[in-house]
């Protein structure tokens, strides 16, 4: 059965929400079959899929293409697509780009901060997931946010402003676990943490990180559930060896 925003909101305080990124049809299909609640087509694709140094070069067209692929693979999970950097600089631009992502297969969109933009989108019947803490589209120093009282209070206020703007859910990234707990308890909508501790209403990871596919660096908050890079390299080496030694293809791989 298709996961709805109403269901996600009802899970707060009752059942933890599971969320992962995906960028292709096959991966989305397997996640869906595993029972994932939310699939995010994240601008993280810039680094883990497209080979950029950061997320800033990702375009709306990139997100659209990968959103379509994910939507064709996942029939049950709620699908949320990132509005990438510079795609929601004004109300009108945000609405236009959000509608493009919805038409590509997303159920809703995610933005970083910007409660006024979020409010405009919600008022125009576009559901929005918020994002506070480390916000990769704007932050220049990728370190834990909210350790100081003043910064923590700003993050709390931003989360509350996004809730008031109509966001159905808010991602908390890279903040101390006690701040994650404070925000989760202060909001009526669910929080989903990534490096924000165990007290959030759900958790999200980048799929390439948790599968051990991205080895440029591994954030402290990542748990690797597999080490697929090693498996893939072994498979590729075995293939090269078989081709060179004329062990592939065998007769069973041939047509007669």
Q: What digits encode the pLDDT tens for the residues 22-81?
A: 999 999 999 999 999 999 999 999 999 999 999 999 999 999 999 999 999 999 999 999
Distance set, CA 95 to CA 32, 98, 100, 196 (Å): 28, 5, 9, 29
What integer is the mean pLDDT of 122-130? 98
Q: To which residue do tokens 């049809």 refer?
A: 25
Give the three-state DSSP class for 17. strand
pLDDT in tens, 168-223: 999 999 999 999 999 999 999 999 999 999 999 999 999 999 999 998 888 899 99
Which of 209, 213, 208, 207 has the alpha carbon at shortest distance from 228?
213
Say how many C-beta atoms besides its own lie within 10 A of residue 39's C-beta: 32
The domain limits of the chain are 5-228
Q: Taking the C-alpha atoms of 155, 160, 165 and 170 in order, what is their torsion angle to the nearest 10 degrees?
A: 70
Whole-angstrom Cα distance, residue 222 to residue 162?
A: 26
Among 73-82, 93-102, 134-143, 234-243, whose mean pLDDT is lowest? 134-143
* Architecture of domain 5-228 in this structure: Alpha-Beta Barrel (3.20)
pLDDT of residue 206: 98
Do 176 and 197 touch, CB atoms closer than 8 A? yes
pLDDT of 141 higher than 90 = no
Which of 68, 79, 81, 64 has the alpha carbon at shortest distance from 32?
79
Do 62 and 45 touch, CB atoms closer than 8 A? yes
Say how many C-beta atoms besides its own lie within 10 A of residue 99's C-beta: 15
Do 91 and 120 touch, CB atoms closer than 8 A? yes
Which of 3, 32, 36 has the alpha carbon at shortest distance from 205?
36
pLDDT of residue 139: 77
Residue 150 annotated to the active site:
no
The pTM (predicted TM-score) of the whole model is 0.97
Give the three-state DSSP class for 202. strand
Catalytic-labelled residue, pool 112, 114, 163, 173: 173
């Amino acid at each position: 059965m298709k996961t709805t925003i109403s269901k996600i909101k009802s899970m707060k305080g009752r059942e933890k929400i599971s969320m992962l990124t995906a960028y292709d049809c096959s991966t989305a299909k397997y996640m869906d079959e595993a029972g994932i609640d939310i699939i995010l087509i994240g601008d993280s694709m810039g680094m883990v899929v497209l080979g950029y140094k950061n997320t800033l070069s990702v375009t709306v067209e990139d997100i659209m293409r990968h959103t379509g692929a994910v939507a064709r693979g996942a029939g049950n999970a709620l699908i949320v697509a990132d509005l990438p950097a510079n795609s929601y600089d004004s109300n009108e631009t945000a609405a236009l780009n959000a509608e493009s992502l919805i038409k590509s297969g997303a159920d809703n969109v995610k933005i970083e901060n910007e409660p006024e933009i979020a409010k405009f989108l919600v008022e125009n019947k576009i559901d929005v997931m918020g994002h506070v803490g480390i916000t990769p589209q704007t932050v220049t120093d990728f370190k834990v946010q909210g350790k100081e009282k003043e910064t923590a209070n700003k993050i709390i206020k931003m989360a509350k402003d996004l809730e008031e703007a109509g966001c159905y859910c808010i991602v908390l990234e890279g903040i101390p676990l006690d701040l994650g707990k404070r925000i989760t308890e202060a909001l009526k909508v669910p929080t989903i943490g990534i490096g924000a501790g165990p007290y959030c209403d759900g958790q999200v990871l980048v799929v390439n990180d948790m599968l051990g596919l991205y080895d440029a660096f591994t954030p402290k908050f990542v748990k690797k559930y597999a080490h697929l890079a090693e498996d893939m390299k072994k498979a590729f080496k075995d293939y090269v060896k078989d081709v060179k030694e004329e062990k592939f293809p065998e007769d069973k791989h041939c047509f007669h």
